[in-house]
Structure 1
Amino acid sequence: MGDNSEKGKMRFLFVVTSNPFAKDFSTLLYLVSALSKEGEVVMFFSGNGAYYLTRPEAKKFKDAGARLLYCAHSAHQRGVEKVPDFFESSSTYNLSKMLPEYDKVLVFN
């Protein structure tokens, strides 16, 4: 486990590559809400998941306790210019370095 995790707390990483109009939104929100009570939750939006940056309701993930990261290249490729301040810019390279730090990784494609 990573050094910055609390002892005994699980660390969850959600990799979201499906678009925000997919049926995954309510499932993701439910899981984030439940799992953030058990430990740390980070969401990484890449590919078509970058479209979540254009959806105001994505703030619900932050409000539920998740840290929100996105692939800046994916956002640029999809013409996303304005990014809400509750998202943090990242890259798929950073994602590859983060993967071993998490107890569970869930992918929504």
Structure 2
Amino acid sequence: MKVLIFITSVPYAKDYNTVRNLTRKLCEKGHEVVIFLSGNGVYYLLRPDAEELKNFGARVLFCSHSAHQRGVKESPPWAESSSTYNMSRMLKDFDKVLCFN
């Protein structure tokens, strides 16, 4: 199964542990997981332990426009720059979409 986790909430909200545990379990079971960070979700790029999402096996993308608007100037090597337009074009490829706002 291919799962998109779309995140617009800040990484220090209670959602972080849910996203972390869900990503780990889905990847352990062999599912393809893509995490897309948009809006305040781009602050995940600044959280030091957020790299573990990539280490679990997820692909991590972020909206470069959202990052620019919020002053996030450097993207870590574990995340890929993208756009919400690209994400909207990928939606048809996913079996499940989960949103955290």
Shorter-chain TM-score category?
over 0.9
Tell me, which stretches of 5 or more residues in structure 1 are unaligned?
1-9
Amino acid across the alignment from 1:107 = C
Alignment RMSD, CA only?
Answer: 0.7
Following superposition of structure 1 onto structure 2, how do residues 47-62 of structure 1 map, counting pairs within 5 Å? 47-62=39-54
TM-score (normalised: structure 1): 0.89
Does residue 86 of structure 2 align to residue 108 of structure 1?
Answer: no
Secondary structure class of the residue paired with 2:76: coil
Amino acid across the alignment from 1:86 = W
More helix by share: 2
The number of equivalent residue pairs is 100
Distance 1:102 1:82 in 2: 28
Instruction: Note the alpha carbon deviations across 1:27-67, whole angstroms, 9 max, x for none.
Output: 11110011112310000000000111111111010111100
Does residue 70 of structure 2 align to residue 78 of structure 1?
Answer: yes
Distance 1:29 1:55 in 2: 13
Aligned position for 2:2: 11
Distance 2:91 2:69 in 1: 24
> Of the candidates 82, 85, 89, which is equivalent to residue 97 of structure 1?
89
Tell me, which stretches of 5 or more residues in structure 2 are unaligned?
none
Point out the structure with max Rg over C-alpha: 1
Identity rate, percent: 57
Distance 2:87 2:54 in 1: 19
Amino acid across the alignment from 1:99 = L
